[in-house]
Amino acid sequence: MSTTMKFTEKLQEAWESQNSLLMIGLDPDQQRFPEDIAQDKNAIYEFCIGIVDATAEYACGFKPQIAYFASQGAETQLANICHYIQQKYPHLPIVLDSKRGDIGTTAEHYAHEAFSRYRADAVTVNPYMGFDSIEPYLAWENKGVIILCRTSNPGGSDLQFAQLDNGEPLYLHVARLVAEKWNRTGQCGLVVGATFPEEIAKVRAVVGADMPLLIPGIGAQGGDIDSTVSAGCNADGTGIMINSSRAILYASAGLDWREAAAETAKATRDAINLARKAVLP
């Protein structure tokens, strides 16, 4: 199963052509929608399309979080949003944030959901059940498989900081497994939260320069852009997708919500680029 362009190639081109490492999360919360679309029967679609059009020039891609759609029975709207991005902004990768983590035929169906139904370029997955929960996604050889490693939530430390017999924390063991054994297609990446910049640096040291890192946690979660860029960027000043969702999506609840989202996205992109200058040779 393949597509014409590998995820990592599409992502690299987006980093370069967009001059941006900013991934914009699509987490549509209808309770926070602006009044001018809140009552629309297709409000989720209209809101997300408005955000996409307002922010696309500042982004390296979009990351829809599937739970926000599924909880509202809006999977068809999600599929339509993905199709819209693919048609109007084909150069921008779509990362479906679903954090699936099952085995066998169930995982095969989750892969089909991500890559056939939504035609995403990459998907987030949970490695807790081991390699056979990851393997079905690798059958889609050009698609990205982004594996949870060191997440941005405080409770992530409950398991991810558990130490193995050799003293290595579990999250670094996951990073090593992905880099050395699981990355058979060369399209794997890792999720590492911006709230733990020291851990980002340790993961980068383990996996090398080429593996992309998806980094949530800036904006509403309080992660620091300078520390994140310094810890995660490779020598080319790329290698990371820094995700921001709520700070951009809900920059304004007024009639200017599209303009406010664009301004916040541009400011975030510019802050990231300023930090990149400090780490480039």
Contact between 63 and 23 (Cβ < 8 Å): yes
Name the nearest CA neighbour of 219 among 251, 247, 193, 192: 247
Residue positions annotated with a catalytic role: 99
- What order of strands is seen across the sheet that includes strand 213-215? 61-64, 22-26, 240-244, 213-215, 188-192, 144-150, 122-125, 95-100
Instruction: Report how far residue 12's alpha carbon sits from residue 240's, in angstroms, rounded to the nearest whole number.
Output: 10
Query: What are the distances in angstroms from CA 224 to CA 72, 164, 174, 194?
Result: 32, 29, 24, 7
Q: Whole-angstrom distance between the N-terminal and C-terminal Cα of the chain?
A: 39
